[in-house]
Chains A and B, each alone.
Chain A
Amino acid sequence: MSWVSVVKGKFLVDQTAIRNWKFVVFLAILAMVSITASHQVDRRIFQIAELSDEVRELKAAFISIRADLRTSKLEIEVAARVKKVGLKSPSHPPELIYMDESEL
């Protein structure tokens, strides 16, 4: 088959045309699958970008809340807050008491 006959589209109309048509349809489906896949990849990338922005925001929120929490847990901060109810930082260390199980 010369290239002229290909250009003229003879393979679509001659006796073996049915077989060729099947192949053409197969190629078309393949092309569509490929296009869809590539679009889906693009969509996934948008999703990833959105999610990583969200992660970044959530991480920032988490860190600043955690820092606030840690600051308010600092003994000096706690002492300042509970001063109203008459609590103070201990001036003597806690004593560890060990007991035998038999004593309990």
Chain B
Amino acid sequence: MKPEKTRILSRFYLFSIPLLCAGLAIWLHMVYISVFRGDSYRKMAESRVIKHAIVPANRGNIYTEGGDLMAVTLAEYDIRIDLKAVPKDIFDRNYKALADSLATLPHSQPAAYYSRLLRINRRKGNRYLLLKRNLTYPDYMRVRAFPILNRGRFKGGMIAVCKRARVNPMGALAARTIGFDDYRGHVGIAGAYGYYLRGRDGRRLEQRIAGGRWKPVGDADKVEPQDGADVVTTIDLDIQNLAHQALLETLQQFRADHGCVVVMEVKTGEVKAIVNLAKGADGSFYEKRNYAVFEASEPGSLFKLVSLMAALEDRVIDTTTQVDTQGGVMRYYDDYIRDTRLGGYGVISAKRVFEVSSNVGMAKLILKSYKDHPEKFVNRLYKWHLNEKLHLAIPGEGKPRIPHPDDPTWSGIALPWMAYGYGLQLTPLQILSFYNAVANNGEMVKPRFVEEILRGRKVEKLFKPEIVNPAICSTETLGKVQDMLKGVFVSGTAKHLRSDSFTMAGKTGTVQVEYWQKGQPLQYRASLCGYFPAENPQYSCIVVVHKPQIGYYGAQVAGPVFKRIAHYCYAHTPKVEPQSHRTAVASRRITEKTFAHLKLVAHLDKMPNVLGAPGMQVVSQLENAGLKVTYRGAGKVVDQHPKAGTPISSHSPIRLRLQS
């Protein structure tokens, strides 16, 4: 019995001890894992169901002065297709129609491309084929109605991926100045005011729930997102659009390389329009770089205002100082200074030199005054801070360069060259702000792009005009240069731009560019900088057209753009009589103008001559007189029946034919 029990026990131990050891080993390993490696595993388990989520802040919008959206964050869609989800008969019947539809979307390939793409990927069994990227909402809605895709996710294989993108709703208008602030860098207003626009992202804990969604849990570790503020720019959309169209048409007409236009409000320095267009690889023009801000280049004749003002302010010349333009050519050291007109202008006054833009005259005037003390001239320019940046809010401003007689590169020709704007560099905005100071009666204000920063409806920051220099020169000098700038449009280089209804003042510039490069035809930069109206200026404006291939004179190429903008601003600014005259003038105007013709017409017994008169006015006047009028067309009256002078009564029919 005993040996039997021992045998059983020994068998029992034989099995149980290894089992126990194995169990113990497993248990020890569990302890080891949970104590020593537990942290990383616990974290791993948690991360599958719990995460620290970033709650993105909404980026602020950028508006025009009038409250139109220039930049906003929107939903954009990538469209993909799961080709295995589409039944064979539906695919075969419809894929060509789908390709045709896809080809109608903006920036699309031809239909043949899509039908090939669909066929090949159908064969490969692609379940995630990209059809179109970055679609706007209206286009996305269209795509949802396309053949095959209109069958939805499961039968049509449509996959739409929604993402957030920064969009400029007004398209190319001021695109480069509005700019962006992302992986590409900080550009334009968006880049400069990124701090306000960005806002601050929030944080919270989230737990995974069914359907791949996440729900917020706990309040402990929570940071609310702070949305970005809105930036209101000084841009006036209508002037911007007009300037854009005008520059675009000019660049196309003269086959230029690039150009820019800036319109600035004289009193405040607010930039109302800023256009920068350059020719792309496909020959169309787009907002490539902010030339107005960064492109420092030789200003040419535009600089004559500065040189002449310096000389006038130093009282070394006067507007009447006579100078011999020497047949239009002057040799100085080894160089020739030439005028545009062969044969020159004879002996003329300094004012005339400016108006006709004589290089020889300008060089001689400045040489005569500063030949022995060039530093006096240059120091005057430095005093006007022309050698310094404007420190614009927008990043990337070009650095101006004005050589000094102490520079090792200074040469004998440097001074006469500077007189007419060569051998130095300024950006279009730097030139404009100087001209603007002349228009603003000597007060120099800094160009400004942003009016205010709004958080909700509350103004967070208001930008006021920044005065750089309260008086750049004496009132006397100012009067003289204003007169000369006016003269350019009356009898100078821009006289053909003159208008009978409104006045302009300014200076044209025709600069040779890349004249140092041999073996290519001479290239030019045409420009015009000035302000309008000449009396009581409201806006200043600069137009620069780089390398036009047909024609090159400033007045001819840049002039029409300047005039169109000046005309627009004139025609859109209501005329208001001075306060004291208001009542008197208004009542006179009403009695004399508004009612006079009505009284006249009320006693009609003979048909008046209405040829050439505005149709709508004539019709209403005749009808007021109790006559029955029929007319055809619109515009001015080109034919009338009965003829003028024919006796008429209240029931004689009158027929008019209008212009079109």
Contact = CB atoms under 8 A, between A and B. Distances in A.
Interface of A: 41-42, 45-46, 49, 53, 56-57, 59-61, 63-64, 66-67, 70-71, 74-76, 85-86, 89-100, 103
A25 B543 CA distance: 85
A63 B575 contact: no
Given A49-B213, A63-B167, A70-B170, A93 B571 contact: yes
A59 B138 CA distance: 11
Contact of A75 (B238, B577, B583): B238
Given A70-B68, A70-B170, A98-B577, A57 B567 contact: no
Interface in B67-102: 68-69, 72, 74-76
A35 B570 CA distance: 72
19 contacts: A46-B211, A61-B137, A61-B141, A63-B72, A67-B170, A74-B241, A76-B242, A86-B659, A86-B660, A91-B571, A93-B571, A93-B572, A95-B574, A96-B574, A96-B577, A97-B590, A98-B583, A98-B586, A99-B590
Contact of B210 (A42, A94, A96, A103): A42
Interface in B592-636: 633-635
Instruction: Select the residue from A56, A59, A85, A93 with max chain B CB neighbours within 10 A.
Output: A93
Contacts of B136: 60, 64
Contacts, number: 104
B159 to A, nearest CB: 15
Given A76-B242, A86-B660, A97 B586 contact: yes
Given A64-B137, A76-B242, 11 more contacts: A42-B210, A45-B209, A60-B74, A61-B138, A86-B635, A90-B571, A96-B575, A97-B590, A99-B586, A100-B587, A103-B590
Interface of B: 68-69, 72, 74-76, 136-138, 141, 162, 167, 169-171, 209-211, 213-215, 237-238, 241-242, 245, 501, 567-568, 570-577, 582-583, 586-587, 589-590, 633-635, 658-660
B134 to A, nearest CB: 12
B75 A60 contact: yes
A5 B220 CA distance: 41
B237 A70 contact: yes
Given A61-B137, A91-B571, A97-B590, A42 B170 contact: no
Nearest to B636: A86
B573 A59 contact: no
B237 A74 contact: yes
B567 A91 contact: yes
B589 A75 contact: no
B593 to A, nearest CB: 10
Q: Lowest 5 CB-CB distances: which A-B pairs, in order?
A: A86-B634, A60-B137, A67-B169, A86-B635, A56-B75
Contacts of B68: 70
A45 B217 CA distance: 12
B420 to A, nearest CB: 36
B537 to A, nearest CB: 16
A94 B575 contact: yes
Nearest to A88: B635
